[in-house]
Amino acid sequence: MSLRGFFNSELGAPAAMVLVVRLIGAAAGFTLTVAVARALGAAGSGLYWLAMSVVSIAEIVGKLGVQDAALRFVSTAAAEGDWSRVAAIYRYALALVGGASAALAAAIAVFAPLIADSVFSDSNLIPVLRVAALLVPVQALMKLHSSLLKAIHRPVIATTLQFVGPPGAAALLIWVFGFTTPSTTVAVVTGSVAGSLF
């Protein structure tokens, strides 16, 4: 198959569109990083990224591996046109991921002083972690929905919602309103992800 034929095929056209969207998403992510660095400075950015590291770990645990399993089963059910089964898998995955990630968020909020002092030796991280805890279920559910959209052959929408919308909106808000505290910046990012999810 020629290169032109590939991009005109059923597989090639969506793949090319996803590639373009991912490139736009990378630009949006880079813009967010620059906006955070300029708004918070070195010390504030450090607190922001430490909190985001905790969120990333908690989000992976909170998904319980359900994301990949749901992708497989929903893809199969959708291919068979069994939409009632798709809906049942969706509800089950939503309950599992939502419940587990919410429990982890609560744990982070409660144990923020212990995490900040014992792990990072920085009590300034406590309020940032408590705000960042809200991002754990939101981010986990975003990743779940992105996988399910891919399972029903909506990769461009899934990629846009996950990689373009949240960082782009957050960067714009930070640039325009000039937020200068790590906690506020994390709240803006959380709100951007939640907005894209809804």
Of 89 and 11, the one with more pLDDT? 89
Contact 23, 31 (CB under 8 A): no
Going from N- to C-terminal start, the domains of the chain cover 3-197
pLDDT value at residue 6:
45
Gap between the Cα atoms of 171 and 192, Å rounded = 9
Tens-digit pLDDT profile for residues 59-108: 999 988 888 888 889 999 888 888 999 999 999 999 999 999 999 999 99
Q: Is residue 15's pLDDT more than 80?
A: no
Length in residues, the chain? 198
Report residue 52 CA to chain centroid gap: 11
DSSP category for residue 162: I
Residue 47 pLDDT > 80: yes
pLDDT at 2 over 60: no
